[in-house]
């Protein structure tokens, strides 16, 4: 295995080389659905130099309930694994795409009317509300549910050619993306897609909702307690936001390189992923593997609308984990203690941890 590629150098190199610009909690995606002019206000929670660059397999169909969503995973041909063949590409005609991954939280502008025009005068973190099931002291699900409020935090998985190259350039030449509200507007469709970046570096961002409702982020799972302890030792909301983003990015990276998840997604594919005829072939596996009884009993969900080339996976970003089984939420402490300190893990240290965990999982499967 090699190291995970990170940072602005990896983004720019990828852009140049391409010739163009039970219940498993999930992390929602921030994506632009394909409509001309669609816009989002985001604050990135990771430094540019911490952003991983992967060779990714995207648009992997997965049946969840009565609908199909699209997932993604790191290709086995990514330098992190260094294998010669990826099974999604070999068996199902999947396309490998260079993709950066980042954590961001959606913002809502606080507007005022100036000359009959609404203009932002600041931003606050957007929140979402949903119900989730409560576990008892033994960890068993009860019939009781609770209303949960969570910050609208999610991940962004986009190309370094038409998206993250602009994000990187803005960070280098205008203002830090971890301190600036960005309005990101989609321009064009399909392969002509580009993005317009508008920054509001002089306007304040109220991060209260991000820290106050951090326990509503169910994706944190067992990492919540450690994160709460860490953010209690940080003296500013900005530092706390970066700590939250760091933990979420590491968890997302681990998920993307997880071998068991890769195999599970691969097993669920039953037809060519070359939906638009780009490879002009339709292949089946060389040998059909016997499917489990559980998989055989699965009912096929209605066919989902095909994603356009260049769009983000069709995940329910605005409908997080209904009726999820979690422990009752505690109130996070928004005010930090100044008696503790926090050390930031280096990209190399994170890569070493990811490689170690991947190796342990691989050894366990033998």
pLDDT at 305: 39
Average pLDDT over the chain, rounded to whole?
A: 80
The pairing of strands 324-326 and 127-135 is parallel
Residue 320 has which token pair? 């997080």
As a whole number of angstroms, the distance between CA 332 and CA 216 comes to 10
For 139, phi then psi, to 5°, come to 85, 10
Domain ranges in the chain? Answer: 5-117+149-272+329-365
Residues 309-350: tens digit of each pLDDT: 444 444 433 333 444 444 444 444 444 443 333 455 565 666
Q: Which residues touch 364 (CB under 8 Å, ≥6 apart)?
A: none
Where does the chain have alpha helices with state H?
Answer: 7-18, 87-92, 164-173, 208-212, 224-232, 237-257, 259-268, 293-297, 347-365
- pLDDT exceeds cutoff 60 at 354: yes
- Segment of 225-229, 279-283, 346-350 carrying the highest mean pLDDT: 225-229
Please report where in the chains the tokens 């396309």 appear, as a residue. Answer: 95
Distance of alpha carbon 80 from alpha carbon 351, whole angstroms = 9
pLDDT at residue 14, as a whole number: 67
Would you state the pLDDT for residue 6?
A: 77
At 307 the pLDDT is 43
pLDDT of residue 296: 40
Positive or negative, the Cα torsion across 263, 269, 272, 273? negative
Residue in the block written with tokens 């409702």: 213
What's the average model confidence in pLDDT over 269-282? 76
Residue 277 scores a pLDDT above 70: yes
For the cut 60, the answer to whether the pLDDT of residue 259 exceeds it is yes
Instruction: Quote the CA–CA distance of 9 and 81 in Å, as a whole number.
Output: 20
DSSP H or E segment with residue 199: strand 194-200
pLDDT for 34-86, tens place per residue? 677 899 999 999 999 999 999 999 999 998 888 888 999 999 999 999 999 99
362's tokens: 């691989």
Cα 241 from Cα 211, distance rounded (Å): 7
pLDDT given for residue 154 in this prediction: 97
What is the C-alpha separation between 162 and 18, in angstroms, rounded? 11
Confidence (pLDDT) at 11: 73
Residue with more model confidence, 366 or 29? 29
**Residue 138: what pLDDT?**
72
Confidence (pLDDT) at 262: 97
pTM, 2 dp: 0.76
**Which of 318, 269, 329, 256 shows the shortest CA–CA distance to 80?**
256
């Amino acid at each position: 295995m090699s190291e995970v590629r990170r940072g602005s150098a990896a983004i720019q190199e990828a852009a140049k080389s391409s010739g163009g610009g039970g219940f498993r909690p999930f992390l929602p995606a921030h994506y632009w659905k394909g409509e001309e002019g669609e816009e989002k206000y985001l604050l990135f929670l990771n430094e540019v130099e911490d952003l991983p660059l992967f060779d990714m397999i995207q648009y992997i169909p997965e049946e969840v309930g009565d609908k199909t969503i699209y997932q993604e995973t790191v290709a086995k041909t990514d330098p992190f694994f260094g294998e010669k063949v990826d099974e999604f590409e070999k068996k199902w005609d999947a396309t490998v795409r260079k993709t950066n991954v980042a954590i961001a939280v959606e913002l809502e502008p606080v507007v005022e009317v100036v000359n009959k025009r609404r203009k932002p005068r600041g931003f606050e973190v957007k929140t979402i509300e949903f119900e989730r099931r409560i576990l008892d002291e033994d960890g068993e699900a009860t019939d009781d549910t609770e209303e949960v409020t969570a910050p609208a935090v999610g991940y962004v998985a986009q190309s370094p050619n038409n998206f993250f190259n602009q994000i990187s350039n803005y960070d280098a030449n205008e203002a830090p993306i971890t301190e600036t509200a960005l309005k990101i507007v989609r321009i064009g469709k399909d392969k002509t897609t580009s993005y317009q970046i508008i920054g509001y570096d002089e306007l304040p961002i109220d991060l209260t909702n991000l820290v106050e409702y951090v326990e509503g982020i169910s994706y944190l799972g067992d990492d919540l307690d450690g994160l709460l302890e860490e953010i209690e030792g940080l003296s500013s909301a900005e530092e706390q936001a970066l700590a939250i983003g760091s933990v979420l990015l590491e968890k997302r990276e681990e998920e993307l390189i997880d071998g068991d998840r890769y195999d599970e997604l691969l097993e669920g594919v039953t037809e060519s992923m070359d939906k638009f005829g780009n490879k002009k072939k339709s292949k089946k596996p060389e040998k059909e593997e016997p499917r489990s009884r559980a998989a055989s009993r699965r009912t096929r969900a209605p066919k989902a609308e095909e994603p356009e080339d260049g769009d983000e996976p069709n995940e329910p970003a605005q409908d997080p984990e209904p009726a999820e089984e979690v422990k009752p939420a505690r109130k996070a402490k928004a005010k930090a203690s100044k008696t503790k300190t926090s050390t930031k893990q280096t990209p190399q240290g994170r890569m070493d941890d990811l490689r170690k965990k991947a190796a342990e999982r691989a050894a366990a499967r033998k």
